[in-house]
Structure 1
Amino acid sequence: MSSSRPPAPEASEDQASTAPLTPLEALGRDRPLKGIGYMIAAGLLFTMLDTGVKTLAQDYSPVQVVWARYVGHVVILLAWFVWLGKSTGGAMLKTGSLTGQCLRGLLLLGASTFAYLAFRSLPLLQVYVINFSSPLLVALLAVPLLKERVSWRQAMAIILGFAGVVICVGPVDWRSQPAILLPFGLTLCFALYQLTTRRFGRQDHPLTSLFYAGLAGAVVSSLVVPAFWSSIDPRDLPLFMFVGLMGAASQLTLIMAMRYAPASLVSPFLYLQIIWAALFGFVFFGDVPRPETWIGAALISVAGVMLAVSKKRSGS
């Protein structure tokens, strides 16, 4: 004897709107405060990473240090995926846009290469201050690439920020000091990396984005590192491992920041690296910033705050 059950009541719109979100759906929603928190953490981790890189770059080729950073990055992620198990870890390797993820990885590799070359001969803070213009470049490039609009307030912030860069660099003989050009390559690559993270990073799990960013760098750097290789002192191995660990951790926090909030909102909070870079540069390398560096950093920071406030007012 069979009994028929009454049909289950359909969920109302209110019930549907309060239904639990999947992990990716939750990560895909904008949460500005979380995004800002992750970006602040990313700034500290980047400074710790770059301090290790600058130390190693005094005795090893920057290309070799780049290779260690990305190979360590990938090894750590693969070990984590294995620990998660075949089903969960294997799922992390699936991406909605392999081309987009590889593009992100190549841009990050370019940014790292320019940075590591610059760290060899320039103070941490000077490289950082020039790179701090990347949020301004993000806002500018978001117009053609992400179809965002730039208001007159944002335009003024961009102009003020780039004026700060000019002051920070100061009068330079480019022919006798070509290294000062390296941070500008870093700035362009990093700005494009942030934009592609915002564009492609939301459709995949953060660990997926982190893995492919490291994989692209590891593959390319492994192809060229034999030409720059020198034997590693066993005493330096922990520092090489630290660089790999910090590389993975800093990029994960950056990815999370970009997933939770627009790039133009959270990017200015990387300016807190001014404090970390000045402190780490003085303690570990004896660098004393020039007055022009502080003036440029102040102008760029003000421009970043203006940009963030303007974005908040426009509701974007």
Structure 2
Amino acid sequence: MSAKQVGETERAIARDPRRLVGIALMCVAPVFFASLDATGKVLAGAGVDPLLTTFMRYAVNVALVTALINPVTRPGVAHSRRLPLQILRSLLLFGSTACNFLALRSLQLAETISIQFAAPLTVALLAGPLLGEWSSRMRLAAVPAGFVGVLVIVRPDALAAKPAILFSLGAMLCYAVYVIVTRKLAAHDSTATTVFYTGLGGLAVMSPLLPWIWTAPASGTVWALLIAVGLFGTIGHWLLVLAHARAPASLLAPFIYTQILWSVLLGYLLFGDVPSAWTMLGAGIIVASGLAVLSEDALMRRHARRRGPPPRA
């Protein structure tokens, strides 16, 4: 974060101390997301099919969410005004998760998360034609710069040596479109309804495939890791919801990039992985470009608030 951004964050916290709690929650959430990826990589190394890991990710998530949010405790929660979009959103998240677990079989945690961080740049690129949120000149400069960072990581020689990078790119693209669809749904369905449908698509796709991908876990440890995958993902997203209830998204967004620190640390401690100079350079370019896009978003919101609503005719 730049000195200007740090100063603005401090002033925001001074005005509302609850924002400090939101920032703390936003810093903890990436620990769970990095742990989710690390656990998936451990399971892949133990010979567990990544698709089985994906199934458990959604089975545990749906079980926990349904226990709290269901038509009994929240009447009408299953009613969606845009059901096809809810289904599409759920399937996109499933695609992102499955591709990520497939990529983790042979890629370092730092490599996959660095490519994933290009998703906000892709969202900024797609927001114009799909949402009518057209980019400013600063965004138009930041987005291509961020994709240069992706190309630094996904070099021709790296792609030839590690074709699993294609899975990581697929995960990033699925997640970017998932964010776009989520924004569209915000104008039609409640947060509870969207949360209710989030994991159902993945579970619906994976359940019929279970007889072909199921192998009994070799030990209680593998069972615990499979359950942990679902817990880490669910808790991480729950912390995001709590954080955004206490502070605006523009204040919280930069802190999600702390995930790359946890990914590098867990990659080194669990697998002995040391990111290459190319990976760290590419990650730095992507993060800097993402922060530039986020700064532009915050600036545009402040200008809009200062102008106020248009006068009535």
TM class by shorter chain equals 0.7 to 0.9
TM-score normalised by the chain length of structure 1 = 0.80
2:210 is equivalent to residue 222 of structure 1: no
Letter in 2 for 1:71: A
Unaligned runs of 5+ in 1: 1-30
Once the two structures are superposed, the pairs formed by residues 1-316 of structure 1 within 5 Å of their partners are 39-58=26-45, 59-81=47-69, 87-172=72-157, 174-201=159-186, 203-235=188-220, 236-254=222-240, 268-315=254-301
Tell which structure's C-alpha radius of gyration is larger.
1
Superposition deviation, residue 73 in structure 1: 0.8
Cα 1:109/1:35, change in 2 over 3 Å = farther
Superposition deviation, residue 174 in structure 1: 3.7
Letter in 1 for 2:256: L
Distance across 2 between alignment mates of 1:192 and 1:37:
28
Q: Retained in 2: the 8 A contact 1:53–1:65?
A: yes
Report SS of the residue matched to 2:107: coil
Q: Retained in 2: the 8 A contact 1:198–1:262?
A: no
Superposition deviation, residue 66 in structure 1: 0.4
Distance across 2 between alignment mates of 1:261 and 1:200:
21
Distance across 2 between alignment mates of 1:101 and 1:134:
20
Superposition deviation, residue 74 in structure 1: 0.8
Cα 1:214/1:81, change in 2 over 3 Å = same
Distance across 1 between alignment mates of 2:211 and 2:111:
30
Question: CA RMSD of the aligned region, Å?
Answer: 2.8
Q: Retained in 1: the 8 A contact 2:107–2:162?
A: no
Cα 1:124/1:245, change in 2 over 3 Å = same
Q: Retained in 2: the 8 A contact 1:206–1:255?
A: no
Q: Say which is worse superposed, 227-236 or 290-299, in terms of deviation.
A: 227-236
Q: Tell me the alpha carbon deviations over residues 229-270 of structure 1, each in whole angstroms, 9 at most, x when there is no partner.
A: 211124111111111122222334456678899988865543
Superposition deviation, residue 44 in structure 1: 2.6
Distance across 2 between alignment mates of 1:37 and 1:194:
23
Aligned to 1:9: none
Report SS of the residue matched to 1:246: helix
TM-score normalised by the chain length of structure 2 = 0.80
Unaligned runs of 5+ in 2: 1-17, 305-313
Distance across 2 between alignment mates of 1:262 and 1:162:
27
Distance across 2 between alignment mates of 1:178 and 1:98:
35
Cα 1:203/1:245, change in 2 over 3 Å = farther
Report SS of the residue matched to 2:73: helix
